[in-house]
Amino acid sequence: EPPKVGVASVECSVAGNFMAHLPNASMLGEPHVERTLTLGNATDMHAPLLGDSQQHEGERGATIGSVCKKLDFGSQSTFEDQITTSLQINANDPRGVQIGGHLYGMTGMPFTKRIDQIIVDVKRSDTEGEYEALEDGDSERSSAGQKLYLEVKNWKRIGTKDALIFIPGFNSWLKHSCETFGQMMAMTTLSKTVYPILFAWPGAQVMTYRQASIISASENNRNYFLQMLKSLRAEGFFNIHIVTHSLGVQTLMSCFENNEDGSPSPVSDCFGPAPTSTDGTSSLTQVGKLVCRSITLLNPDYPVDAFREHGFQSLRRVTSQITIVGDKADQALFWSSLINGIVNYFGWSQPSALDSEARRSEKGFQLQAPIGKGIDCMYTEDGDDPDDWLDCDCIDTTGLDTNVNDLRHSAYTVNSILLRDIEEIVVTGKRAATRTTLLHKKGNVYEYCHAPSFVSQ
């Protein structure tokens, strides 16, 4: 079936007594096929949210980007939502200086090397106030009824928030995916800085893991993901964050898998190249490209060998902020490694995105370790040399024991420690080495600075 666009409302518990019946998701109308919906002009915010499904084919259809903008238009927008009261300036990126939520005016890109200084003006709202006499004889307009805000010369504020795309995992149907993603958003303040977008794929059920793995890497999934990215860019979006859970990472890796000739996939080609330590150029060929700000893999069900051989490089091509959150005691991933070991034993084929030379060279039955359990195996050789470790951040959550169920596979929904860290990744873009909640273990592996629940003093 063709992809559909819909809007869901999720009621969640966030403090005090957590209700057993929450989170609870409900669809605000049924999802509609994109090509049959009419929104009129992209700037016409008075058109229906999802349009009229009876429109003639060929007219403009609803896209993810246009629906996000309409939701913003329908909300109670305040003066504070339209101004900048704080700035995040980053000069660590080899591509140039960046200011959060802004584009450089001369190039229209989020980073630049063309400046020697940043000038910030302090502005006041138009509300009139009375002047007050100060002790030194100067006068100042009364702050009553006024708002102070910031403007950066030669930079323009981005009209849209970033897009946060969540790809759910195995055995996660649409309603359940909306509820877990909604709970994650409700426990953070991410909704102030991003539009939450759920990319729901046929996640199958318990007895159909093998089929779900094949579907996750299917051509349909790749085409629909590409269509979503193109629609976001067409609506003026620039910054994209991607979060995946469990088997959803296989959809992501399939989308970014290189073509047979080694060239970037169509999905990769939607993004400008990520900076490297040796090449920080930002040519005009990147104008019009999306910027992948971060990719976060939660308890990822993806083979270690495939990730080290080709998967990591396909992601690193588009972003320098790759975070893997894993748990060595993850029971769901144990069963995944067992099933994939059986697949290897019988010589059954795997989707190319999941395959590797190491897997094909193995004989007999061997567990196929997923990166969510092999969290300390993200290196190219033996890990003794610092250069062997992959340029990504690996977060070991094995020590977390609060708000983590016995399966240890989905702590991201309610565990406040993990949720705050995900929020910091998206909002600040800091690598693990500079985030204050983490302790360095070895190589690229970190763990949370968190005492076990039985420690009380």
Q: What is the pLDDT of residues 161-171, one digit of tens each?
A: 899 999 999 98
Tell me the β-bridge partners of 295. 242, 322
Alpha-carbon span 351 to 454, nearest angstrom = 44
Q: Give the tens place of pLDDT for each residue, 16-27.
A: 788 889 999 998
pLDDT, tens only, 284-332: 446 678 989 999 999 999 999 999 999 999 999 999 999 999 999 999 9
- Locate tokens 């490089």: which residue? 313
Q: What is the mean pLDDT of residues 28-37?
A: 65
Q: Is the pLDDT of residue 346 over 50?
A: yes
Contact 315, 386 (CB under 8 A): no
Mind giving me the DSSP string for 75-130?
Answer: S---GGGGSB----EE--STT-EEETTEEETTTTBSEESS-S---EEEEE-S----
Instruction: Give me the pLDDT at residue 405, please.
Output: 83
Give the ranges where 318-440 is alpha helix by DSSP (H). 331-345, 357-361, 416-428
Cβ burial 238-270 (10 Å sphere, 16+ → b, else e): bbbbbbbbbbbbbbbbbbbbbeeeeebbebbbb
Please state, in angstroms and rounded to a whole number, the distance separating the CA atoms of residues 94 and 43.
35
Given a cut of 80, whether residue 54 has pLDDT beyond it is: no
DSSP 144: T
Split at pLDDT 50, 70, 90, the class of 134 is very low
Average predicted confidence (pLDDT) for the chain: 83
- Over residues 395-422, mean pLDDT: 89
Residue 135 predicted with pLDDT over 60: no
What does the DSSP 8-state code read for residue 409? S
pLDDT number for residue 11: 94
How many Cβ atoms from other residues are within 10 Å of residue 181's Cβ? 27
CA distance 151 to 154: 9
In this predicted structure, what is the pLDDT of residue 385? 72
What angle separates helix 248-256 from helix 209-216, to the nearest 10 degrees? 30
pLDDT bucket at 37, cuts 50 / 70 / 90: very low
Tokens matching residue 294: 């971060």
The neighbouring-strand residues paired with 395 are 325, 446
Question: Tell me: the pLDDT tens digits for 210-234?
Answer: 889 999 989 999 999 999 999 898 8
Question: Among 6-10, 74-78, 342-346, 378-382, where is mean pLDDT lowest?
Answer: 74-78
In this prediction, residue 396 carries a pLDDT of: 96
Does the pLDDT of residue 187 top 50, yes or no?
A: yes
Q: Which of 76, 116, 81, 82 is nearest to 96 (CA)?
A: 116
Residue-wise pLDDT tens digits, 262-282: 899 999 999 988 865 444 444
Q: Cis peptide before 386, with omega less than 30 degrees from 0?
A: no
Per-residue burial over 146-175, b if 16 or more Cβ lie within 10 Å, else e, is: eeebeebeebeebebbbbbbbbbbbbbebb
Which pLDDT belongs to residue 282?
46
Whether the predicted model's global pTM rises above the 0.75 cut? yes
- What does the pLDDT read at residue 287? 63
Whether residue 254 contacts residue 216, with contact meaning beta carbons closer than 8 Å, is answered with: yes
Measured in degrees and rounded to the nearest 5, phi and psi for residue 423 equal -65, -40
387 three-state secondary structure: helix
pLDDT at 403: 80
Per-position b or e across 121-143, b if 16+ CB within 10 A of its CB: eeeeeeeeeeeeeeeeeeeeeee
CA quadruple 39, 40, 44, 47: dihedral, nearest 10? -50
